[in-house]
Amino acid sequence: MKKLHYIFLIFSILIACKGVEEEQGKKENEFKIIQNEKSKRLDSLYTELHKYGEFNGNVLVAEGGNTIFQKSYGLANEETKEKLNVESVFELASVSKQFTAMGIVQLQKAGKLSYDDKVSIYIPELKNYVGITIKNLLTHTGGLPNYMSITEKNWDKSIFATNDGIIQLFEKLQPEKEFKPNEKWDYSNTGYLVLATIIERVSGKSFEEYLKQEIFEPLKMNNTFTYRRRFKPMKVNNYAQGYIYSDSLKRKILPDENGKDFFYVYLDGIVGDGMVSSNLQDLLKWDRALYKNKIINDEDRNIIFSSYKITDTTETNYGFGWFVKKDSTYGKRVYHSGGWAGYITYIERNIDNDKTVIILQNNKTGKIKIPSKDTRKIVYGSPIEKTFRLPEKILKSYIGVYIDENGEEDELIFDNHSLWVSSGSSRLSLNPISKTKFALKGFSPQVTYEFILDNKGKVQKIRIQQIKTGVDITKQRKK
């Protein structure tokens, strides 16, 4: 009897422990997952995109803070074949800007700076850039030139660029402003680099320390941090490696394979315009916190998520680190995308209807998409347009070299379920419009490639048009 009693006691303890573990798990996973018909439609959308090489990453969709869809598609590491999971961490690229903006908002609330302060008060090295305010930097209306183009010509690429290094370069070269403050809106990575340095100088902390102590830790965003993987390497578990496509090697590579003088590599020491890493769950925590008064109040929300107006009252459709859009179908939406060093990211908050979309990708190739429009339609129960696709047999019949009367050549190749135009060291994907007509991805006004067939259905020529600019070229297929 004693033995049986002992066994029963052990069994009871195990059951009790299991109950405690389950309860702890419930507390850790504070967001409910509610699947519905929208979940199935979203999975169908992303499964097809992944199949055709147009999506590789993680996606989360929530309504009222409850997750209705969360899934991973593809690999985190091409070498080891490690798969992504919903907790994988990604570099956020320009989605990081909202955290830089929040740091400035917090310092303003603490009385340590004002949005209308001139930048030169905190960065005297930039005293020649007269009239630019902190608010101008937040809203991309300051006119500072692009640091990336300046470093391309003037930086020793054997050395990592840093915020202080870029500011010193501006002080030395004094490149001209692109426009007067408030004269126009122009997206500026330089502005957010400078904002990060203002955070450091005002707070007395590094940008990394400030975000960690003032934003990430208070919100329990335990998988979110500033990370410069080349400038300051450290071991990060469950990290999604960022891949770009190499036209010369005909495969996906890490940016590092292009060498130290590749801009993704030598600009790795800069923070503010990027370099925050996070995952789906942490970004949902961030989304929920922005509805509450834990780190900001209604007055802050009003200015952060309102479209800034330049002097002629023209709307910029940008607030503090967020694009802003309002329409009759979806109400007010704030969103931001990012693209850097193999990562393509996106977050959207439908403020009026409390719907959230988070998309994190770790492939940056000519085919990768941010399917935000179709995702939004599904979330609102609307139909989406089916992507027009052609059988591989037809696509392969178009491959070959095409030449015009001046000897200019285009090579059409087939790869990863798609047709591509390969010219020199670059290639661009062609999206089918009909059986014989394609649109060149990423061009506006639209560029079309139309195949001209003989009466037997064999390709003879290709006609390249950009109707709005008058471009109309015919190239003969080489035999």
| Residues designated as active site | 94
Instruction: Name which of 182, 325, 72 is nearest 336 in CA terms.
Output: 325
C-alpha 3/C-alpha 250 separation (Å) is 68
Question: Sign of dihedral through CA atoms 47, 48, 50, 55?
Answer: negative
153 phi, psi to nearest 5 deg: -100, -20
- 442 Ramachandran zone, left/alpha/beta (phi>0; psi -120 to 50): left
What SS3 string covers 140-183?
A: CCCCCCCHHHHHHHHCCCCCCCEHHHHHHHHHHHCCCCCCCCCC
Instruction: Name which of 406, 403, 350 is nearest 377 in CA terms.
Output: 350
C-alpha 203/C-alpha 188 separation (Å) is 23
Question: Residue 408 corresponds to which tokens in the numbers above?
Answer: 């200019």
Instruction: Name which of 147, 150, 154, 160 is nearest 229 in CA terms.
Output: 160
221 phi, psi to nearest 5 deg: -85, 75
Question: Residue 441 corresponds to which tokens in the numbers above?
Answer: 């991805």
Distance of CA 422 to the CA centre of its chain: 26
- 231 Ramachandran zone, left/alpha/beta (phi>0; psi -120 to 50): alpha
Question: Residue 242 corresponds to which tokens in the numbers above?
Answer: 């960022």
What SS3 string covers 217-277?
A: CCCCCCCCEECCCCCCCCCCCCECCCEEEECCCCEEECHHHHCCCCHHHHCCECCCCCCEE
C-alpha 343/C-alpha 96 separation (Å) is 12
Query: What 3-state class would DSSP assign to 83?
Result: strand
